[in-house]
Amino acid sequence: MRIQEVATRDAKWCDRETDLAAAAKIMWDDDCGAVPVLDEQRRVVGMITDRDICIAAATRSTSPANIRVHEIMSERVRACHPHDDVRVALKAMGEQRVRRLPIVDEQQRLVGIISLNDLVLHAGYRRDAGIQGDEFIDAMKAICEHRAVAAA
């Protein structure tokens, strides 16, 4: 099964200068927990999550409207391509311990996003399942492993 068959195509995004209040509103309006950060050419340059926003809002002495996305975004972003097999996404999610990956074209421009929600809908133990249950469970274990265990 290819990533393009299960991914969200019209992923919402923000830029580096978006403030955290606006990024949180994008997540609220689109019912998502992460937003890719794009440059002027629509290339993915980072990711910001609801957790990033919450921690920044709780640990800084200012309003989220005064904090810019570039101050807290993750810049090391692993992406997949639309024609990749879903196993590529599962492996990358497990290795990076992330729940979402941007999907990019050959020029690294955003064309969608794939999340655990997208993948779980196609996981199963039937022979015809798009994602075999064991592969999905293994990826989930890697993603959810506590940092202290992963570092040991």
CB 118 within 8 A of CB 58: no
Using pLDDT thresholds of 50, 70 and 90, give the confidence band for residue 53. Answer: very high
Render pLDDT for 92-147 as a digit per residue (tens, 0 to 9).
Answer: 988 888 999 999 999 999 999 999 888 877 766 666 666 667 777 777 777 777 76
Backbone angles phi, psi at 143, to 5 degrees: -65, -40
Both structure tokens of 88: 């590529």
- As a whole number of angstroms, the distance between CA 96 and CA 91 comes to 9
Identify the helix (H) or strand (E) that includes residue 140. Answer: helix 133-144
Instruction: Write down the pTM of the prediction.
Output: 0.82
The three-class DSSP label of residue 8 is strand
Check whether 150 has a pLDDT greater than 90.
no
What is the overall mean pLDDT for the chain? Answer: 88
List of E strands, the chain: 14-15, 34-38, 44-49, 100-104, 110-115, 123-124, 131-132
Q: What structural domains and CATH numbers belong to the chain? A: 3-151 (3.10.580.10)
Q: What is the pLDDT of residue 149?
A: 55
In this structure, the strands spanning 14-15 and 100-104 are: unpaired
